[in-house]
Amino acid sequence: MTSTLHSKTVSASRINIAQLMQPEHANNLGNVHGGWIMKLVDEAGALACMRHAQHRVVTVAIDSMVFRHPIRLGDLVLLTAELTDVGRTSMEVEVQVQAENPITGARAHTNTAYAVYVALDDAGKPTPVPALLTETDEERRRQAEAKRRQTHRLQERQ
């Protein structure tokens, strides 16, 4: 099967997820487990990459995740995932995480994560992905930073 890959914009695959933090997401002090947030980050990132590639994807790497602000039981967690760069079969996505008090509307940026995914064909083999079309100076800046992160990741593997 032959297909023509067309470039896609960052906005074409952007994902926004909102989830209310319930008791099963938190410890006995009312703080949401970091692992739960990592799971949401991975899901948001994978969804953005699936939208871009129009294929299933697998997680290859998630860069370090630093929690700058606690997320509390009852907070609304807001995740925004956007592609920052693509390779031949891989894609890097930036996931921004915010915690919002749904009563007051107060928001806090809790963390930013960068993750890399590889698109898979129906046989489970890596498959080419469309190029990423950057439209703004900010998107081009983020793409240049993504290329530097990828160079660093590849150097660490050696």
Which pTM was predicted?
0.92
Tell me the mean pLDDT in the region 39-64.
97
* pLDDT at residue number 122: 97
Q: For residue 65, what pLDDT band results from cuts at 50, 70 and 90?
A: confident
User: CB-based contacts of 21: which residues, under 8 Å, 6+ apart?
Assistant: 32, 36, 71, 72, 73, 74, 75, 76, 77
**pLDDT tens-digit profile of 1-20?**
434 578 999 999 999 999 99
State how far Cα 95 lies from the chain centre: 4
In this model, does residue 58 exceed pLDDT 90? yes
Distance separating alpha carbons of residues 30 and 91, to the nearest angstrom: 35
Residue with tokens 């498959």: 127
State how far Cα 92 lies from the chain centre: 8
Query: 97, 79 in Cβ contact below 8 A?
Result: yes
In this model, does residue 101 exceed pLDDT 90? yes
What tokens appear for 47 in the block? 């969804």
CB 117: neighbour CB atoms within 10 A? 29
